[in-house]
Amino acid sequence: MNKQTAKQVNMPVNMPVKKVVIAGGGTAGWMAAAAISKLLGKAVSVTLVESDQIPTIGVGEATIPTLHILHQLLGINEAEFMVATNATFKLGISFENWKDLDQDYIHSFGYLGQDCWACGFHHFWRKGLDLGLVSEIGDYCPEHLASREGRFAVMANQDLNHAYHLDAGLYAKFLQGIAFKHGGERVEGKISQVHQDNHTGFITAVTLDNGQHVSGDLFIDCTGFRGLLIEQALHTGFDDWSHYLPCNSAIAVQTETVGAPVPYTRSIARDAGWQWRIPLQNRTGNGFVFCDKYISNEQAIDTLLSNIEGKTLNDPRVIKYTTGTRRQHWNKNCIAVGLSGGFVEPLESTGIHLFQKAIVRLLQLFPHTGIDDAIVDEFNKQTQEEMDNIRDFIVLHYYQTERNDTAFWRHCANMAIPDSLKHRMALFKESGRVFKKAEELFGEASWVQVMMGQGLLPDQYHPIVDQMSEQELANFLNRIKQNTSKKVASWPSHIDFINHYCRSKMMT
């Protein structure tokens, strides 16, 4: 969209924003309602419109550590939240068969080893690899080692390098309680009409199928893939990323718990996509993300059901989607939050993060005195940069692979990729360097773990490493490894910690 068109879309309206209307519930809708009601409730009213007739996607059950930011803002007690949502802890993601068949690695949270001012720890590890001084890089990261050993603990003054596996439906109800406590209101009904100002095109109200009229100053679209306000009413436009991310379908099914829950999400590559396995306290979430050009829905369902553990608790359902992003996440007086704003598949559990980041960004840029271009442009700029960054990180998993055993994986290994990703990979391959902007979601440790896990090893390390003698380097690496091992050995098992800290009433 050119600048002239953008100016026409975002005409300034110097009307104070006093009434916020959220279209749609689910995790995104109730997250927005809870945050705005609690943090801005004295300045604005919040009304959420949802229909019991419209089901939510509700399969976004894995999170990343950034969720702590919202929980701290909302004053959420971790143990209470985990009991209410049957949650378990998550320290990372196990990628199985991604680099090649029968080759696995973990992308963990936390930090690798010890950095110096000039370069990251992996440069020291890389030289140590040449000299035969190191074991796998995860041995130098507590979260990585604890994932493999099935241990977990929340210690005093500990960095919050953990996330959660949770029941998305129960999480929405938990957030609903916070919204109601702080004055948020819910209106039951299906939106049948969206009203716009004849001059500006701004949304003024929605009419429900029961005839009720809900007016507002600012509208948040949480209607999912339909984009009822942002797209169907405002025709904002959508950038399709299917040429970078070929998977366009997902199947979800729940199963009974079998064994103790592991503190990580499993991502298991299959012939035409990948399978997730997410352990909650009372059940396991399972799913299969795939490209229907290479496998039929029926074959995909059979693939998933043939690779699960435990009795199924519901019938598998197929969800169709298109990866990509809305061209503007804030258009006129409407902000798309959740799937209405776009979708980058759930491979790195970024869905709920994007919901909360949009909400926090809105709170930071909230247009109390009126909506103007500068605020809208900044919101859209920040959102687009984050979407591009996450897209590149996801594409990396597919493109940097040694698999050539199926048509799907041959396609992925030979597809065109964004220039921004091509540059990151070339820089890392040639020098081991990972440069990122301060606001990017995925840090150096994440890029390093996935690039090396997928088989991209740096040819060189930073020359500052050579300031250490071989013995000094060996001592440095051994000390970090021993301290990591000692720290993790002091933690209880994941299931023991859950039983002590946040055992759910529904836990079997």
Helix, strand, coil shares, percent, the chain, to 5:
40, 20, 40
DSSP 8-state symbol, 109: S
> Which residues are tagged catalytic?
90
CA gap 193, 231 in Å, rounded: 13
pLDDT at position 507: 59
Residue type, 498: I
SS3 call for 114: coil
pLDDT at position 159: 85
Q: For strands 163-165 and 185-188, give the pairing.
A: unpaired
What pairs with residue 324 in β-bridges?
A: 240, 343
The CA–CA distances, whole Å, from 249 to 289, 292, 296, 345 equal 6, 7, 10, 10
CA gap 482, 472 in Å, rounded: 15
Q: Is 270 left (phi over 0), alpha (psi -120 to 50) or beta?
A: beta
CA gap 98, 352 in Å, rounded: 24
Q: Is the pTM of this model over 0.85?
A: yes
The CA–CA distances, whole Å, from 381 to 222, 252, 458 equal 20, 33, 32
Is the Cα dihedral 345, 347, 351, 354 positive or negative? negative
CB of 289 closer than 8 Å to CB of 274: yes
The domain segmentation of the chain, as residue ranges, is 3-88+165-241+324-390, 112-152+399-489, 249-320
CA gap 353, 457 in Å, rounded: 29
DSSP letter string over 133-191? ----GGGG-HHHHHHHHTB----TT-----EEE--HHHHHHHHHHHHHHTT-EEEE--E
SS3 call for 196: strand
Model pLDDT for residues 317-358, shown as the tens digit of each residue: 899 999 999 999 999 999 999 999 999 999 999 999 999 999
Q: For strands 45-50 and 19-23, give the pairing.
A: parallel
User: Topology of 3-88+165-241+324-390 in CATH?
Assistant: FAD/NAD(P)-binding domain (3.50.50)
Tokens 């088989």 appear where? 455
Model pLDDT for residues 295-318, shown as the tens digit of each residue: 999 999 999 999 999 999 999 989
CA gap 314, 139 in Å, rounded: 39
SS3 call for 290: strand
Q: Give the other-Cβ count within 10 Å of 104's Cβ.
A: 16
CA gap 281, 505 in Å, rounded: 9
What pairs with residue 457 in β-bridges?
A: none
Q: Can you list the residues of the chain whose pLDDT is less than 70? A: 1-14, 55-60, 506-508
Q: Give the other-Cβ count within 10 Å of 226's Cβ.
A: 16
CA gap 43, 20 in Å, rounded: 10
pLDDT at position 57: 58
Six-digit token string for 457: 């090893």
Six-digit token string for 263: 């503190």
Q: How many residues does the chain have?
A: 508
pLDDT at position 5: 38
DSSP letter string over 443-478? -HHHHHHHHHHTT---S---GGGGGS-HHHHHHHHH
DSSP 8-state symbol, 54: S
HSE, CB side, 13 Å, CA atoms: give it for residue 119.
20
Tokens 């979430």 appear where? 285
CB of 378 closer than 8 Å to CB of 362: no
The CA–CA distances, whole Å, from 464 to 117, 349, 436, 480 equal 10, 35, 20, 19
Q: Give the other-Cβ count within 10 Å of 8's Cβ.
A: 11
CB of 263 closer than 8 Å to CB of 497: no
CB of 494 closer than 8 Å to CB of 262: yes
Task: Tell how far CA 249 is from the center of its chain.
Answer: 18
Residue type, 56: T
Is the Cα dihedral 152, 156, 160, 163 positive or negative? positive
Backbone angles phi, psi at 236, to 5 degrees: -70, -30
CB of 87 closer than 8 Å to CB of 76: no
End-to-end CA distance of the chain: 53
Backbone angles phi, psi at 407, to 5 degrees: -60, -35
